[in-house]
Amino acid sequence: MKRLILPLLATLMLCGFTPVVAPPADAGPVSLEVVDRDSGRTLRQYHDRSQRWVAGQQGHRYSVALRNDSDERVLVVLSVDGLNAITGEVAAPGQTGYVLDPWQRAEISGWRKSPREVAQFVFTDPGRSYAARTDRPDNIGVIGIAVFREAARYVPAPPIARPSRPILREAPQAEAAADMASSARSVAAPAPQLGTGHGAREYSRADNTTFDRATRMPTQRLDVRYDSERNLIARGVMPRRALRRDDAPQAFPQGYVPDPPSYRTR
């Protein structure tokens, strides 16, 4: 079968799931990074208690970089601002996602519009975010993934002298985490300054494939919250440091005293 690049998943209902237990925080086969596409930088992740944060910049396009660090296929359901990045639905782990091959790295750069096109992820003010514009602003400021391992398939037994039934390989025991919206809990802090907009269209290929989940609950749950640098400093997430030159007040911004708006010569 032809190798597929970022295939979309047609989610299937399965029976015979293995039992699940809650996993350690962030444990699992997939890593998540946020890449500022305009600066080319991978945004540093700051840890605050059990949460991860990145500082975005208004107007900059970004992508979500996913890497499968395992030797098996995985399904990744991607949520941005509480919405499924493929379907636009309010996100839930049981929905459609992206299938990554073993050791594959992929950058998801926008809201999926078709098998060949996305609308770019762009850091914008919350009121102009896609979630707010579609009247679903409750979870603005968080990117999350729910990861599923693939169910074992029947494998023919090795040839022997007499007929033998196919053997079902034992599916690896999966681990589960809380619901995808749990990490979007409110924090006493400044109002969010960033959301994710529905940006310009661009080419991005994705093909359909099938994927049988090994469990009903995800093997891994990982969330990364984002906000402006100023807000992260105010929250105490980022270290307080001197403002950049273009942000800091200057004692001598001009060489001479300008006229005030209401001033008139007589």
The answer to whether residue 129 sits within a structural domain is: yes
CB 106 within 8 A of CB 65: yes
pLDDT the model gives residue 240: 76
pLDDT digits 0-9 by tens, 43-94: 999 998 889 999 999 999 999 999 999 999 999 999 999 999 999 999 999 9
245 pLDDT above the threshold of 90: no
The answer to whether residue 86 sits within a structural domain is: yes
* Torsion from C-alpha of 207, 147, 212, 163, nearest 10 degrees: 120
Q: What are phi and psi of 63, to 5 degrees?
A: -135, 160
- Region 251-257: mean pLDDT is 59
Burial 82-104 (b: 16+ CB within 10 A, else e): bbbbbebebbebebbbbbbbeeb
Work out how many domains the chain is built from and give that number: 1
- Region 157-164: mean pLDDT is 51
pLDDT digits 0-9 by tens, 93-106: 999 999 999 999 99
* Overall pTM > 0.75: no
pLDDT digits 0-9 by tens, 166-195: 333 333 333 333 344 334 344 455 787 999
121 SS3 class: strand
Round to whole Å and give the CA distance between 65 and 39.
Answer: 15
Give me the percent of the chain exceeding a pLDDT of 70: 67
**Pairing label, strands 208-211, 30-36:** unpaired
Give me the percent of the chain exceeding a pLDDT of 90: 61
The answer to whether residue 31 sits within a structural domain is: yes
**Least confident segment among 73-82, 89-98, 219-228, 232-241:** 232-241
pLDDT the model gives residue 213: 96
Sign of the Cα torsion 134, 137, 139, 144 reads positive
Residue 4: pLDDT band with limits 50, 70, 90: very low
CA angle 220, 172, 84 (to 5 degrees): 30
The answer to whether residue 145 sits within a structural domain is: yes
224 pLDDT above the threshold of 70: yes
138 pLDDT above the threshold of 70: yes
The answer to whether residue 69 sits within a structural domain is: yes
Round to whole Å and give the CA distance between 215 and 72.
Answer: 15
The answer to whether residue 264 sits within a structural domain is: no
Domain carrying residue 72:
8-235
Question: Which DSSP string do the residues of 23-58 spell out, in sequence order?
Answer: PPTT-SSEEEEEEETTTTEEPPPEEETTEEEEEE-T
pLDDT the model gives residue 159: 60
pLDDT the model gives residue 153: 76
Round to whole Å and give the CA distance between 203 and 181.
Answer: 30
Q: Which class for 177: exposed (0-12), middle (13-18), buried (19 or more C-beta within 10 A)? A: buried
**Residue 113 CB partners (closer than 8 Å, separation 6+):** 119, 201
Mean pLDDT of the chain: 79
Beta bridge partners of 110: 120
pLDDT digits 0-9 by tens, 19-57: 334 444 467 899 999 999 999 999 999 998 889 999 999
The answer to whether residue 64 sits within a structural domain is: yes
Residue 108: pLDDT band with limits 50, 70, 90: very high
pLDDT the model gives residue 182: 39
The answer to whether residue 3 sits within a structural domain is: no
Query: Hey, what are 256's tokens?
Result: 């001479």
**Residue 97 CB partners (closer than 8 Å, separation 6+):** 9, 11, 75, 76, 77, 78, 84, 86, 146, 148
141 pLDDT above the threshold of 90: yes
Burial 197-219 (b: 16+ CB within 10 A, else e): bbbeeeebebeebebebbbbbbb
Which has more confidence, 251 or 121? Answer: 121
